[in-house]
């Protein structure tokens, strides 16, 4: 069932995927304001994120076992918004089965724990909401593994009946730094073409910073209607103001 409004609480955010390209940009975005938008930002991670930006004291990092999130379920409580930028690729995972487990099953397990831990703490002013960074072309009925898994995640989180669900579908992600030494041949070949204003204008490339800002803007929108919303590249760019 959907979250039932009760009493007010200071806004707090949970981030899954904080060590990735979009996640790092998101952490900076959530903590950039003075005073920051959230009283606390909790990042659930395998290893700690190296963050030395503003409002560092409001960043809480929790090392968790994604294979067995249930034992770390207490970390999900006390947050009204969960941002998920978590993801991998088949090549990085090692196989199709491993990709589905990491990319889909870990995310859905976390989403369920977040919903269960906070359903009774949502308020009219601070609804329980889940934001997911998906991919352009995501479709649960796609023949392509990556797009199918992203689409399956989208449908599943929508059916969990959060007060609000925001699905963000960026185009080719223009990153701000190398991805931890990971060798992605296609990305290295495409980046010179995609990392320019024309590609963004044509809807072919989305900067990770734009995704991060759009997610924060969407989550903090005043008097937002309940329900599910999907934002494609042009919507992300408009929401980000970039």
Active site residues: 146, 150
Q: Measured between alpha carbons, how far is 61 from 52 in angstroms, rounded to an integer?
A: 13
| Separation of alpha carbons 158 and 61, rounded Å | 27
Q: Are the C-beta atoms of 103 and 88 separated by less than 8 Å? A: yes
For residue 193, CA distances in Å to 196, 209, 229 come to 7, 18, 30
Beta strands 164-168 and 227-231, pairing class: parallel
Q: What's the CA gap between 228 and 162, in Å, rounded?
A: 9
Q: Which secondary structure element, helix H or strand E, spans residue 119, and what is its range? A: none
């Amino acid at each position: 069932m959907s979250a039932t409004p009760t009493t007010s609480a200071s806004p707090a955010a949970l981030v899954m995927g904080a060590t990735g390209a979009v996640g790092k940009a998101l952490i900076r975005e959530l903590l950039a304001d003075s005073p920051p938008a959230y009283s606390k930002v909790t990042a659930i991670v395998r290893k700690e994120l190296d963050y030395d930006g503003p409002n560092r004291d409001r960043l809480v990092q929790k090392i968790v076992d994604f294979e067995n999130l249930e034992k770390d379920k207490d970390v999900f409580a006390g947050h009204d918004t969960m941002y998920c930028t978590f993801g991998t690729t088949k090549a990085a995972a090692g196989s199709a089965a491993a990709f589905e487990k990491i990319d889909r099953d870990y995310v859905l397990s976390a989403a369920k724990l977040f919903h269960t831990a906070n359903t009774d703490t949502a308020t009219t002013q601070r609804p329980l909401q889940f934001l997911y960074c998906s991919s352009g072309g995501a479709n649960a009925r796609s023949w392509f593994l990556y797009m199918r898994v992203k689409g399956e995640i989208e449908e599943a989180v929508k059916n969990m009946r959060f007060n609000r669900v925001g699905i963000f579908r960026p185009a080719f992600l223009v990153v701000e730094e190398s991805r931890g030494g990971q060798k992605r041949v296609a990305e290295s070949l495409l980046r010179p073409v995609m990392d320019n204003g024309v590609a963004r204008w044509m809807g072919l490339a989305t900067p990770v910073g734009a995704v991060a800002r759009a997610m924060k803007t969407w989550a903090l929108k005043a008097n937002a209607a309940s329900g599910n919303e999907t934002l494609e590249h042009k919507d992300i760019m408009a929401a980000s103001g970039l």
